[in-house]
Amino acid sequence: MSLSNKNEQEKNIRVTEDKFLAPENRKHTVIGPGGEEIFVDPLNDYFCTEKPKVEKPYKGILEKFYNWARAESLWVLGYGTGCGSIELPPLFSPRFDAYRFGVAMRPTPRQSGVFIISGYLAVKTLKRVIRSYEQMQNPKYVIALGSCTINGGMYWDSYNTINRLDHYIPVDVYIAGCMPRPEAILSGFNRLKEKIKEGRAEGANEYIEKLEWYKANQKKIIKDWNMPDYNW
């Protein structure tokens, strides 16, 4: 295929519908190497459309062992959504030293098991939060930091900031305060550990069980929904 042919091929991408989608995610036809037209629906063709399944916890001593292992190595997604993210860097300084609790920061959702929603959450950020949360591997836990995630905090009557985080993703531990000190966050980590060891931190399964309810809430406020229903 020559270069001019390639340029023609790019020009031939036809936009059919859905104004919110990025151009490469809209339904379009591409011209194949032999000149044939190929219809592409990226949201169905490029992403998995299968519904996620509940992973039932094991029983007895095996699950207890797993939970102990999970609780002792909490890997946090390095994604700060609001002002509370400024309280996270001191956690890993020698003064507070979160590493002694097995807490480490990770750069990508695929590697991490704990999502800290640090402070207020704008609608625009919520979309990215949902994408990141759904890409994290099971089992995954959510820590909600600050009063903004509980009832909106000082942004309770804002046009752009959500009031209750637990309507959009399941929350395991709330840490109240505006903003909570690093000591409070460490205490929250310990509370999360207790919860995991007791086998009560089943947020990921709860999310899948009530997926329709969560999706309805999310789509109510994210009016330009431009991603697959579930982002694997």
- In the complex, which residues of this chain contact other proteins (CB under 8 A)? 20, 122-124, 127, 150-152, 156-164, 167, 217, 220-225
**C-alpha–C-alpha distance, residues 142 and 214, integer Å:** 15
What is the nearest approach in angstroms of other proteins to the Cβ of residue 149?
11
In terms of Cα–Cα distance, which of 154, 148, 140, 95 is closest to 118? 148
End-to-end CA distance of the chain: 34
Task: Considering the complex, state which of residue 150 and residue 204 has its C-beta at the smaller distance from other proteins.
Answer: 150
Q: Which is nearer to other proteins, 137 or 151 (CB)?
A: 151
Structure tokens at 72: 């002792």
Q: How far is the CB of 14 from other proteins (least distance, A)?
A: 22
Q: Are 135 and 109 in contact (CB under 8 A)?
A: yes
Least distance between other proteins and beta carbon 224 (Å):
3
Nearer to other proteins, 184 or 222 (CB): 222
Task: Give me 94's structure tokens.
Answer: 């020698």
Least separation in angstroms between CB 128 and other proteins: 11
CA 149 to each of CA 34, 52, 87, 126, 193: distance values in angstroms, whole numbers, following the listed order:
54, 26, 15, 12, 21
With respect to other proteins, which residue has the nearer C-beta, 30 or 211? 211
CB 72 to other proteins: min, Å: 33
Nearest distance, CB of residue 24 and other proteins, angstroms: 17
Question: CB neighbours (10 Å) of residue 220?
Answer: 10
Q: How far is the CB of 172 from other proteins (least distance, A)?
A: 18
Number of Cβ atoms within 10 Å of the Cβ of 15: 11
Residue 198 or 224: the one with the smaller Cβ distance to other proteins is 224
Q: Which residues pair with 8 in a beta bridge?
A: none
**Nearer Cβ to other proteins, position 88 or 150?**
150
Q: Nearer to other proteins by C-beta: 21 or 104?
A: 21
Burial of 167-195, coded b for 16+ CB within 10 Å and e otherwise, reads bbbbbbbbbebebbebebbbebbeebbeb
Residue 169 DSSP code: S
